[in-house]
Amino acid sequence: MTDHATAFAPGRVNLVGEHTDYNDGLALAFAIDQGVTVHANALPGQRIEAIASDLGEADEFVLSRPPAGAGWRAFVRGAVAELQRGGVQLDGARLQISGEVPRGAGLSSSAALEVALCLALIALTDVPAPPRVELAQICSRVENEWVGARTGLLDQLTSLFGERDRAVLIDFRSLAVQPVVLELDGHHLLILDSGERHSNAASGYNARRRECQRACELLGVASLRDVTLEMTARLPEPLARRARHVVTENERVLAAVQALERRDLGELGRLLDASQASLRDDYEVSTPAVEAAVLRLRRAGALGARVIGGGFGGHVLGLLPAEARAPEGVLEVHPGPGARVLADSRT
């Protein structure tokens, strides 16, 4: 058995493919070097103790009956409950959580927390971790059913499948994940804080998901992956615009993969701009603060810029040439490896 373990899960940046995951669509994303680390130590009995080091807060509950919770506690309790629901027999544990992904930034700190918690808890058992797709689904249930955000699998799959110097092309219908070389020829991917905090559970994220479901009902299809651009004209507003965003965003994902294969960074920048315009006008998840951040990056010479994450605040991604002078306060992001157990001790 393992008496202690350390697990790390990265946040992610989505190049193109926003709000497509819960519509059986496509996305092109990459894991980043920043993430969440969970140190786990085995405890006798049925007690789970958790400490959020960054917040100076603690939690404690019985393993067999995790209660509902709020904030970071909901993630811990949900991870314990959903792992057991998935057939993983857990033991008591003390969990110490720390993170370097800004919360509310649209960089998927939530998924990083879920994945790191699950990997650390599993490492204390005698069983291997489930396949990565299955583990992503377990983590997604934590966010859906315990935290209250009806997200898809984008964040969890990217955190688990990330590779150094590569993005991942994800098909959310088949759950196939394909690495894509991210060669930028001296260009930089930078993120800029809009100054407005983003929260999937508290924002209009769930409302957008309901609108997509309603559009499918009216068109008689299983998901918006089955819809063409012509079909969106049959829908009333704002459903027509919501569906149009998803259809065109899927097209932009495939175009972005082709642009990277050709090393056509100008085209990649154009696609970032087109995605932002669609998120602003059709999906309506941008804000004045986000638009101001986009403008700052464009004025600095960005080939393209767009909000990342669910929208309604958070960070903006920009693709800048090497010679461009980046605005103050930006953070350069690099594609890094996916989630992993860093260390453990066998007894």
Residue 22 maps to a domain: yes
Helix (H, G, I), strand (E, B) or coil at 5: strand
Q: How far is CA 261 from CA 16, 167, 184, 266, in A?
A: 15, 12, 10, 13
pLDDT level of residue 347 (50, 70, 90 thresholds) = very low
Q: Among 178, 209, 228, where does a domain finish?
A: 178
Residue 151 maps to a domain: yes
Q: Among 178, 210, 239, where does a domain finish?
A: 178
Q: Catalytic one among 155, 185, 281, 282?
A: 155
Domain that residue 263 falls in:
184-332
pTM value?
Answer: 0.92
Q: Buried (b) or exposed (e) across 237-272, using 16+ Cβ within 10 A? A: eebbbbbbbbbbbbebbebbbebbeeebbebbbbbb
28 and 74 co-located in one domain: yes
The whole-number average pLDDT for the span 103-107 is 68
pLDDT level of residue 297 (50, 70, 90 thresholds) = very high
Residue 59 maps to a domain: yes
190 and 326 co-located in one domain: yes
Which pLDDT score is estimated for 202? 52
Q: What is the pLDDT of residues 256-281, one digit of tens each?
A: 999 999 999 999 999 999 999 999 99
Annotation says 33 is catalytic: no
20 and 155 co-located in one domain: yes
257 and 227 co-located in one domain: yes
39 and 158 co-located in one domain: yes
Q: How far apart are CA 145 and CA 275, in angstroms?
A: 29
Task: Give 3-state DSSP helix, strand, coil % of the chain, rounded to 5.
Answer: 40, 25, 35
CA–chain centroid gap for 67, Å, is: 25
- Residue 28 confidence (pLDDT) above 70: yes
164 and 292 co-located in one domain: no
**Contacts within 8 Å (CB) and 24+ apart, 217-222:** 219/243, 222/24
Residue 132 maps to a domain: yes
Q: How many domains does the chain have?
A: 2
14 and 137 co-located in one domain: yes
